[in-house]
Chains A and B, each alone.
Chain A
Amino acid sequence: MLESKSTVFLVAGVGFFVLAFVVMGLLPWMIYMDQEEETLEDLVAKGIPHEFVELAERFPEQFSRHFPNGPTPSSFGDALQLGHDIYVAEGCWHCHSQQIRPVSNEDLRWGAVSHPSEYHNVLQRPVLFGTRRVGPDLIREAARRSNDWHIAHFYEPTNVVPTSVMPNYPWFFDEDGYPNRKGMALVAYIQWLGSWLPEYPYYQGEGPAGARSREGDEAALETRRMEGS
């Protein structure tokens, strides 16, 4: 019975796979089914981060060449999509995660723990949780650094962080060394990550006025050590 062809084919092959798919795949799918997936327009409608406008001001000539409509919602939508596509194509997601876990003091390092609703949008299809952190998590990266920092960093990370092992990306730049359409889009995408949170940017140890302070963080870390967590 357990060794017959039909049992092996139907029960082990088809049956157990379908069972697992229902329990471990379909169930989470159904849990979030009622949440509408946000489209690019929905995302853009929440507002254009100031950094995108700043790109247009900093590189007026190049920006208008790459995004002829100026820093409008439609340009921002294009930039987000392109930035996301580059992030996927270059395998940034193999070195950077996009999820803050509730453990290992990740909230102290990066900010609020990830919530499922943050991922229900087209730019997280398929989701970019990531499985490896050679570099830091990026889901709270918005406004943590200036545009200029990112631009210099993408060109040659070791110029900014000497011990960095992140690759150089000179093809995000034109011959004159200005960010090209790709470069601007990627900066726009990175500066958007986490911008939807009320409490941002979050700098480890030195939050903006009213948010956490370095002393506060160290005290929190110390308490957690004492509690043994």
Chain B
Amino acid sequence: MPLLDRMGWRTDDFSRDDVDGGIIVPLAALRSTLDARRAGVIGVEISNDVAVDRLAPYFAQLALIAIAFPAFGDGRGFSLARRLRQAGFAGRLRAVGPLIPDQGPYAFACGFDEIELPEASLARQSEAQWAAALGAISHAYQPGYARQTSIFERRRAARAHKQESRSHA
């Protein structure tokens, strides 16, 4: 199924079938897969109500966690991504479900690296639309959401800069 990250469409190096390369398994099969393929690249797909504690013991062995979005209006996945990042998960985080381009910036800000979409969305929503949505709002207010400096932090930096140049004058 179509996969995109911040840069646009990308090929999926994971699969849900039992082949070589990365595999994504359901949570129920995680233990047995880890035991069977000690050296493999393993990802797990979870529903959006799984407790972080259940996964934390496996963080080091997991290359990817995929969080299912049953509907685009169900925002639990955003908080779960936040919690996983806060708990120290440093692997890839994937959102799986019918998200819309306008949610792209939210997903990436909450810690997702990529979004896996159903074919049907692809037919209606182009790569250009996803890219445009990412650039729609230059700066967000909220501090602490991934990889961009918030307006609050920028204001502080600007003030500190002003004070510094004043003290140099």
Mutual binders A and B = no
Give me the interface of A with B, judged by CB distance under 8 Å.
none
Give me the interface of B with A, judged by CB distance under 8 Å.
none
